[in-house]
Chain A
């Protein structure tokens, strides 16, 4: 009984086909040799990939996205690690409320955050700046980092820490040499998940980004709203190739299921 019947397998194949179809068609159209949107039936061509080089704004947006993801995930980790340690191992008044506050951005639609940040940043003079993008991204990716670090710190054995402390290690040494290495898998996966969420964010960023400082998804989105041509397909295809490569590495090193299901155990 614990096997899939033929009907189940047909369903499964259709399901995978449904999931893959739009991704494959983007990659296929990117290879067209024609000047308009079409499947590459007349022969493959790399002309649209070369055309990306003539549009430096895509490359600049890509670099900005990478930098934004890296900076905001690192900041989110710096804030989330102490907070996770406080929540995971101390009983204190307001603990549940603080945890709920840190996870609350998950409940707020990104469109609402975009509107809120646009208004706020224009008022305090951060409108359209890279700093504004970083701060807003820290808020939305912190819950993802926090959840994984929280799982790692809850599951960790505290006897080792106590041993270090009783042997005379200061709290900083204890944290640096004992606690941090033990929760490092959770911290690393938290950083990766935060980076992915920052890199893919479009709804909120579209409000805060300026023509000078923008991210690749926002640039793509605004371009698609005006017209769809093989150039955006080529940019998307490059993005898909890079994501798949990163995904395979991630799956090898850490396990995609573990990252996404959120079982931050070692």
Chain B
């Protein structure tokens, strides 16, 4: 609001001065400025997405290829087939577990980071956020090496006496969950970190000086203020985990399918493009519903915190 008043005021000032070379504040200026982006997004985002939806309505046969008919057969196939149920259920189970693990480990880590003194804080923040910049393929390769070929994780666990026989990590959900947690936990730390910036450490000291124990301070002062950060971090992590591709493809292999790797296989191996497009459309709808729905919920519930 302040910005608009200011532009209005400056507009009258400019007209009082010698006439500027180009009349300002024309109503179509913002549209002109965003026109290149709008054109680009209309042609390169909306058209391909609509085409994908239309493709999901086509039918496919191994001899005839893609047939230009409009029907909902692919959707009813997916709803009726227990194989697809299993894949979608697995996808959401993995995403939910990863989100939970990220919240349980990422939120305390962000809090610990904030209480560190520089230069340690800067260095540790670099280690926590740095993996975000390293290619997800390289990071997943690291887990494949730890789980599989060198078997360091199992050797370590057995040396510690925690397990008697090696656990199977490669091609299992456990392995995918661990690797995905590693890939996505920096997002949770970032989100909680951002909400901690608004938390005044003096409030904690005030609670302490008023006789609250450390646990009470945590529960009554710190936690309520970082819950919005945890929730918005959870939305990001869940959405990214549910649509993750490279990590489940490498750790899960060809047998342990999630929605994204299923769509990939239908597209590039089975060549059943309409079915692949259907899986993609369902994934997109689920993703948008979850992100928009949860955002609404979080914002309504924590309105006072966000303002």
Name the distance in Å between B71's Cβ and chain A's nearest Cβ.
18
Which of A107, A115, A139, A217 interacts with B44 by CB under 8 Å?
A139
Interface of B is mostly: helix
Known: A1-B214, A112-B284, A158-B6. A233 touches B145 (CB 8 A): yes
**In the bound complex, what is the Cα–Cα distance between A239 and B145 (angstroms)?**
17
> Residue-by-residue, is B170-186 near A (CB-CB < 8 Å gives 1, otherwise 0)?
00000000010010011
A142 interfacial contact with B, CB 8 Å: yes
Query: In this assembly, does A117 line the interface, its C-beta being within 8 Å of a C-beta of chain B?
Result: yes
Interchain nearest-CB distance for A182 vs B (Å): 15
Q: Is the CB of B109 within 8 A of A11?
A: yes
Cα–Cα distance between A158 and B8 once the two chains are bound (Å): 12
Contact of A202 among B55, B115, B135, B185 (CB under 8 A): B135
Known interface pairs A119-B51, A158-B6; A22-B150 also in contact (CB < 8 Å): no
> Which residues of A lie under 8 Å from residue B249 when comparing CB positions?
221, 225
Tell whether A251 pairs with B182 under 8 Å between CB atoms, given A11-B108, A12-B109, A109-B283: no
Which residues of chain B have C-beta atoms less than 8 A from A87's C-beta? Answer: 30, 34
Question: Is the pair A116, B52 in contact by a Cβ cutoff of 8 Å?
Answer: yes
Q: With an 8 A cutoff between CB atoms, is A44 at the interface?
A: no
Selected from A12, A109, A203, A260, the residue in CB contact (under 8 A) with B284 is A109
Total cross-chain contacts (CB, 8 A): 290
In the assembled complex, the CB of B99 is this many whole angstroms from the nearest CB of chain A, namely: 16
Could you tell me the dominant secondary structure of chain A's interface residues? helix
Partner-contacting stretch, out of B78-86, B161-169, B273-281, B298-306:
B273-281
The reply to whether A21 and B49 contact each other, CB–CB distance below 8 Å, is no
Residues of chain A within 8 A of B273, CB atoms compared: 119
Residues of B with C-beta under 8 A to A80: 37
Contact B182 A38, beta carbon cutoff 8 Å: no
The answer to whether B270 has its CB under 8 Å from any CB of chain A is: no
Bitwise, A201-234 to B at CB < 8 A (1) or not (0) is 0110011000000001100110011001000110
CB-CB under 8 A from B127, the residues of chain A are 16, 19-20
- Looking at the complex, which one of A78, A112, A228 makes contact with B149 (CB distance below 8 Å)? A228
B137-A236 in contact (CB<8A)? yes
What chain A residues lie within 8 Å of B250 (beta carbons)? 221, 224-225
Contacting residues, chain B, for A21 (C-beta < 8 A): 142, 146
Q: In the complex, which residues of chain B have a beta carbon less than 8 angstroms from the beta carbon of A51?
A: none
A152 within 8 A of B: no
Give the residue of A2, A39, A104, A200 whose beta carbon is less than 8 angstroms from that of B205: A2
Q: A83-B33, A108-B287, A120-B51 are in contact. Are A236 and B45 (CB under 8 A)?
A: no
Smallest Cβ-Cβ distance to B144: which chain A residue? A228
Q: What's the minimum C-beta distance from A111 to chain B, rounded to whole angstroms?
A: 4
State the CA gap A257–B186 with chains docked (Å): 12
CB B36 to nearest CB in A, in angstroms, measures 5
Do residues B150 and A38 form an inter-chain contact, with CB atoms below 8 A? yes
Give the interface centre of A26, A104, A115, A196 by most chain B CB atoms within 10 Å.
A115
Contact B145 A29 (CB under 8 A): yes
Q: Contact mask A1-45 → B, CB, 8 Å, 1/0?
A: 111100011011001101111111110010000000111000000
A55, CB-defined interface residue at 8 Å: no
Please tell me if the beta carbons of B126 and A3 are within 8 angstroms of each other in the complex: no
Complex: how many Å from CA A136 to CA B132?
21
Q: List 7 A-B contacts (CB under 8 A).
A: A9-B112, A12-B109, A15-B105, A111-B280, A158-B7, A217-B135, A221-B250
Q: Apart from A3-B115, A260-B129, what are 7 other A-B pairs with CB-CB below 8 Å?
A: A21-B142, A22-B143, A200-B134, A217-B136, A233-B145, A257-B129, A257-B193
Pairs A-B, 4 closest by C-beta atoms: A22-B142, A109-B243, A116-B48, A86-B33
